[in-house]
Every structure is written in structure tokens, then in C-alpha cells.
A and B are shown apart, each in its own frame.
Chain A
Amino acid sequence: MIKYVLQRILYMFMVFMIITLMCFVLIRMLPPAVLPPDDPHTFQILRRREALGYNEPYLVQFWLFLKNIVTKWDWGVSEKLFFGQNVWDIFVGKLPATMIVNLYSIIWSIPVGIGLGVWAALKKNTWIDYFLSTATMVVISVPSFVYAFLVQYLFCFKLHWFPFLMAGGTNYFSWEMLVSIIPPVLSLSFGVIAGFTRTTRAELTEVLTSEFMLLARTKGLTRAQATVRHALRNCFVVIVPGIFGEFIGILGGSLIIEGIFAVPGVGRLTLDAINGLDYNIFMLSTCFYTAIGLAASLVVDVSYGFIDPRIRMGSKK
């Protein structure tokens, strides 16, 4: 098992390096940002570019890029948006806002989603099940900015329950911040809840009809006992990797929701970097999002093996 995990990690790392190389070359092929002529940082940035090998072949540039990261954890400086500032520092400063919004959304979405899924599965083929299944279908189909609009219009504008935008500052646990965070959290939650409801319902209905459930009932367990101890445990083989995947996704955030509610997070930073053509920030965001995507799939794969002894892929190797 450990060997398999290590293999997977190594493989993911290779994939990550290849993607980074591709994106790096594509970004460096673009003409570099035009710098303001009479700024004290300009000269410094030009010197930096010289040192980073902007006139050398791309592979040399990539090597220097990697060397700076490995030896000094230096991801370059922002050349447009935050002129002259260290990209990594900007980026890390944006992470908490994204994480806090996503964390809140997941913390309450997962129990609600699983709960609704269990409810729908236990009431299979009743109106509760039909209603929940249809609602799930509808919620999953509709894109998140529609919810953002609804939440903002109804709760923020009409009912005045919450402020329009997320409160400023870095005091993430103040009451004011908590209230102002609810609209983005709510907008993000719809999709997550619906996803978990759908998965749980599908899994549980399948497990509930299997023969060991019949055996569990025949040997005298009550319905609740049988469901919790036997059926739900089997469902978690599928659900838990999904939860792990979601938790990794916390870091990623949502470009759209962060834009609408002015969450000062990485999603918004990425979008600003794209629109402002700040290549160094964009490079870091690219690496970050790639790493998150790969890590999520890795964690999901590996956790399957840990949770379900039947799926020990590659363990015989």
C-alpha cells in the first residue's frame, strides 16, 4: 500500500512538473509587461529579469525559475498589480479569506447534504424522495452565479439581513465578518449540498437493496441499526473520498463567487492577474490550481484504498 501511494505521489509530481513547464513556456513566450519608465522599481525589475534569464532559451529560464523556488522560495515579483511586491507574499495574504469562506461552506454543507441523501434514500419512491431528487437535479444544473444573484438580491437587498460585500480587514473571526461571510458561503453551499445528497442517495439506495442488508435485518437488527452500522458504512466508501476532495478544494475557491461578494481571496487575485496581465502572479496561480487539482484526485484515489480493503489497487505489486 505504501509503495502504491509513493508511486502515485511520484507520478503526480511528474505530471505537475510537465504541466508547469508547459504553462511556464507559454507564459514566457508572451511579451513581458511594459514597465513605467520613472519608477524606482523598474530598474530593479529589469535587473531581475536579466538574472532570470529572459534572453536565454526557455529551458534555461525554467531551470532558473525552479532553482529560485527550491533554494529561496522566490516566485518572482508582481510587475503590474502590486508593483514590485513579492508574489508569494501577496498570494499567501489572500489565502485565509478564500479558506475561511470555503471552510464554513463545507462544514455545514456536508452534514446537510449527507443527511438529505440518507433521508431521500430511506423514503425511496415517496414524494420526499421525488422532491429531493428533483431539487438536487435542479440545484446541480444551475450555475453558481445565479445563486449568488438570488442570495444577494433577496437576503442582502430586499431583506437587509446581510451586508452586500464581505467586510474588509483581516479579523476573520469577528462577528461582523461572520455575518458578512454568510452570503458567499450560502451561494457556494448549494452545489456542494446537492452533490452530496445525490451521491449519498444513489449509494445508499443501492446498498439498502443488497443481500447483506436482508441478512442484517433477519438476524434481528432494527432498521436503524442495520442502516447505520451496515448500509451507511458501505456508503462512506464513496462519500469519504468526496469529502477529502472537497477539503482540498477549499484552497481553490471560486472565481465567480469571490468576484461578486468582493472576497479578497486567491480566486479574485487570479482573475485580476489575468485581466491585468500580471504574469508572475498568474504563473503562481497556475501552479497552485494545478497542484490542488492533482492533490485532490490523488487523495481521493488513495483514500479509496485505505477505506475499502477490496480496492487495494497495486498492492500486490
Chain B
Amino acid sequence: MTENIDNKDVKDVLNEKIPAEKFAFVQENENLHDIELQTKARGFFADAMIRFRKNRSSVIAAYILLFLILYAIFAPMISQYTIDDKDPMYVNYPPFVPETAKYGFINGARNMDSQNEKSMDIWYGIGEETGMNPVIKILGTKEVQEKYRGQWRTRTVYNIKVNMYYALGIVYRNFRYEDYEKLQQWQNETGIQVIYPYVDPQEYPGAAGNPNIWYQVDNASNAKKDKDGNYVPAYMTDESKAGAPYNSIRIKGDDGSWVYSYAKSGSVQCRICYYNFYIYQNGHEPSYLMGTNVMGNDLFSCIGLGARFSLIFAVLVSAINLSIGAVYGAIQGYYGGAIDMTLDRISDILSGVPFVVVTTLFQLHLAQKVGVIPSFLFAFVLTGWIGMAALTRKQFYRFKSQEFVMAARTLGASDWRLMFKHIFPNAIGTIITSCALVIPGVIGSETSMTYLGIVDLSTYAGTTIGTLLSQGNAAATSAPHAILWPSVFLGLLMICFNLFGNGLRDAFNPTTRGVDD
């Protein structure tokens, strides 16, 4: 082959003569040695952290997770409400914060469709009497044909946006005499009007017991306005019907003749402005960042409380399952053979029992004796460790035949020492990282069980996310916020835990080292 190549131009390198003086020593007066390593040695953990940080979605998930955990810890603390603050009137009310409501955000708004003139009169009446106008915005009007006394007539209906907290307006309340005195005292001190003049229902049967009608109405409860279109007050002036003397601030336009209470047997009935009465009772204005649920609880603190329980519970369950699973799997993997098979059969049987059945049976049997939460915990522990055991077993099979184990055994290490001093530390990375994926699983099952009402934790844990969700689901159409916020929280928590766990698992997995880039 080579003979055929015409190699006249190619230098004959092999036979070329280089004169000796052209050669020079590279390191004539130096010691020959290896160059010291300039880079720092990197440990397993630091290496994993670097790889974790490269995974951007996991890092973001970790930060969101941190935020959610901080929320769970601090939200119930900073909130002015506790789980026992249940307002009987503000039930399933939309988010409302008085400070931002002025600017149109979080203003407790709910849309009301097809409000007729009569209702509109009531809405505006509330605004005029209490000074807190519930109508935020008129979204649209519609002409409707309706049959009235055999004739067709046109009627205008309004779609409006209403501030629910103001819209509650005036309610009837019965007070004992001393409470009535106290309320008057408070009114004098703060100058906030809670008690409004009474309207005698016998005088105006058209009001039909609606406390928010304070103006003159006909028998069909249509407002009888004066010629300028203003409301005409219908307050009671008959002093003999008053329940108790009134010596406090009076509303504008009162010449002292209006009566502020109505005599009931042993008590006084009043018309009170609920918003101001709330301030009297609680010492602050209603402020619900996420609205209230069906119990009248503040959702902001309730979600925090539920999340707190979920997180603590999940961490506890994972820790217990991790310990049991690690020991069980270690014994299985280390001894192998008949022991492995027997233990495998046991875990096969346990894993075959459906989780709902386990939870139910534990609740029925143990809840009376050891409490609801411990029996719920037992239900999780009964089958939860099986996955962890399988994982540990696999790791043990991988490591137990390696040389370092043999070396330790030759040196006389006991079985126990071999298992937990020599083999287990090798497997611990995989086991711990899988824990981050176990936690969302536990939270998911816990939420399902409390959602379904199989486990009722409300007396012990205050509330849980699952309970909040099922309460919200009952009123999903009228008060979507009550299910939206727990859903958002739970969804975010699960997504972030899974992303974080996946990132952690990939980072700690030595086989992916250097593969990703």
C-alpha cells in the first residue's frame, strides 16, 4: 500500500537528523514532582448541593416550600383571630380588609344578580342610615317583562357588586339591661354608633320584620319617598314602648324623640349596626384576608393551623416509617434467604389491606382508647413503612457483598454493627431523600381522609386542610373563596414538595453525576 503513495514532498521524519545542540533540558535545575491540586476537594454533600442548585425548578420549589412552611408557622400567630373566633353572622364571606377596601382591593365584594327596585332601596337605605354604602358598583341593568295583576309591565333589574360586610347592615339583637348600659357606655367613649333607633313593626307591617327597612314603606314594602326622592324615616317615637332609657349618642337628624329600644320580657330589643357591633365585641374591624368559612372562622389563620398540623403529622409519620422501614429492610436485606422471604410475606399481607379500611378500623377500635390522632398515626404507620423497607432492602443487597463489609466481618464486627455502622451509612442518602417524597404522600392521604370525614380531627387539631376543603365544597358556588384558598395552598404544597423531593433525589444520586451537562 505505502509504496504506491507518492511521498516526495513528505519529510522523512523518522530518518531526519537533528543536531545535538538543538536539544535542551526542560527542567535542568528543578525537582521533578506532581503539581499540587489547585481545586479544593469536594465532599459528597457539597457536591449534591451544587447539583441541586443547578436544577432551577427544584430551587424555586424549595423557596416556595420555605414560604409555605413559614406561613404555616406564623400565620396563626400574627392573625388576630384564633380557631375559637367564630363569627355567627360573617359566614362564608368573601375576603375583606378595611385598609385596602378603600382602594377597591379585597373589599368583600360579591356579585348580586337581578336586584329589583325594592332591593335596591334596601341597599341604598343601609348606606344612608349607617354611612357604609354596600353597593360598590352597578354592573348592568336589564329590562324585564313581568305580569303584575293581570297586566304586563316593564321592570328594571340591576346586577350589582355588593360589599357583603356592609350589606349585612342592621340586625335585631336582644340585650340584658346591664349589657345595654355597657354598650351605651362604649358608644359614648368611642363615638361609634352601634344602636340605631327602633322601627315599630306594628306601625309598618310592610317592613316584614326586615331590620334594614328604617324608612316609610307601604304594605308591599316599597319605599315611600318624599318629593325630592329622599327616604322618610319611620323611627318609633312612642316612648312608652322603649325597653330601657337611652342616654348615649344619637344619630344625625334626631331631635331626641326617636326611641332606641323596644321592651321585651326581661330584656331590650335593639336595631344594631352589625359592623360596628363587631368592633364593640372584638375591639377591631373585621379583617379577613382570605374571607371566612362556613363556621365563621378566619380562613387565613385556619389554613395556617391546618397546614401546621399536616406538616407536623407528615414529618412525624415519615420519621417513624423511616425508622421502622430502615430496621425491617436492613434485616431483610442483610440476612436474606428464609428470613427475607418470611418478612416479605408479612409486608405483602399488610400492603394488601386498603388504606381506607385500615384507617376506619383503627378509628373504630382505638379512637376511644388512645385518641383520634394517635389512632390515625397508627393507621399510617401500619402500612407506611413498607416502601421504605423495600428501598433499604435493595440498598443492602447492593452493598452487603462488597469488600469493605467482608473486611469488617473478618475483623470480627457483629451483625448489628455491620448493618448499621458499615452498610447503612452508604444507603442513607437514598433513604433520606426518598423521605422528601414520602411527606407529600402522607399529606395527600391525610387530607383525603379528613376530607371524607372518616377521621374527624377538628376537636383535637382545630381544623385541617381536608376539613376546610370539605366545608368549602358544600358552598362552592356561592362562596368559591372558601374552597379556593385551601385548594391553592394544598396544590402548591404538594407540587413544591414533589419538585423539591425529585431534585433532592437526583442530586443525591451518584449515578447522575456529571451526566446532566
Contact = CB atoms under 8 A, between A and B. Distances in A.
B469 A274 contact: no
A22 interface: yes
A27 B361 contact: yes
A277 B499 CA distance: 40
B263 to A, nearest CB: 47
A143 B452 contact: no
A27 B349 CA distance: 18
A248 B379 CA distance: 25
Interface string B336-353: 000000000000110011
B448 interface: yes
Contacts of A141: 440, 491, 494-495, 497-499
A282 interface: yes
Interface in A267-299: 270-271, 274-275, 277, 282, 285-286, 289-290, 293-294
Contacts of B469: 145, 149
A34 interface: no
Instruction: Categorize the interface residue count of chain A.
Output: 35 or more
Interface string A21-37: 01100110110000000
Nearest to A254: B448
Given A137-B495, A274-B360, A26 B365 contact: yes
Interface in A1-27: 15-16, 18-19, 22-23, 26-27
A240 interface: no
Given A15-B348, A149-B487, A22 B495 contact: no
Contacts of A15: 348-349, 352
A143 to B, nearest CB: 5
Interface string B468-483: 0100110011001001
Nearest to B364: A30
Contact of B491 (A146, A153, A286): A146
A29 B365 contact: yes
Contacts of B360: 274, 282
B78 interface: no
Contact of B477 (A137, A153, A277): A153
B365 A157 contact: no
B491 A142 contact: yes
Interface SS of B by simple majority: helix
Nearest to B353: A19
Interface residues of B, number: 37
A2 B352 CA distance: 24
Contact of A275 (B453, B480, B495): B453
Nearest to B472: A149
B53 to A, nearest CB: 19
A165 interface: no
Contact of A293 (B354, B452, B499): B354
A315 interface: no
A252 B364 CA distance: 23
A157 B353 contact: no
Contacts of B483: 149
A256 interface: yes
B188 to A, nearest CB: 48
A129 to B, nearest CB: 13
Nearest to B498: A141
Contact of B357 (A23, A29, A140, A259): A23
A112 interface: no
A23 B452 CA distance: 21
A140 B498 contact: yes
A140 B499 CA distance: 11
Interface string B361-391: 1001100000000000000000000000000
Contacts of B473: 145, 149, 260
B191 to A, nearest CB: 44
Contacts of B361: 23, 26-27
Nearest to B494: A141
B67 to A, nearest CB: 17
Contacts of B491: 141-143, 146
B408 to A, nearest CB: 33
A76 to B, nearest CB: 17
Interface string B454-493: 1000000000000001001100110010011001001100
B448 A143 contact: yes
A98 interface: no
A128 B477 CA distance: 35
B476 A149 contact: yes
Contacts of A30: 364-365
A137 B499 contact: yes
Given A15-B348, A19-B353, A256 B494 contact: no
B487 A294 contact: no
Interface string A232-272: 00000000000000000000000110011000000000110
Given A26-B365, A143-B448, A138 B349 contact: no
B57 interface: yes
A187 interface: no
Interface string A145-164: 11001101100010000000
Interface of A: 15-16, 18-19, 22-23, 26-27, 29-30, 134, 137-138, 140-143, 145-146, 149-150, 152-153, 157, 255-256, 259-260, 270-271, 274-275, 277, 282, 285-286, 289-290, 293-294
Nearest 9 Cβ contacts at the A-B interface: A141-B494, A289-B354, A141-B495, A142-B491, A141-B498, A146-B487, A286-B357, A157-B477, A26-B361
25 contacts: A18-B349, A19-B352, A23-B357, A26-B365, A29-B365, A134-B57, A137-B498, A140-B498, A141-B495, A141-B499, A143-B444, A143-B490, A143-B491, A145-B448, A145-B451, A145-B469, A145-B487, A149-B487, A157-B476, A255-B452, A256-B452, A271-B452, A274-B356, A293-B352, A293-B354
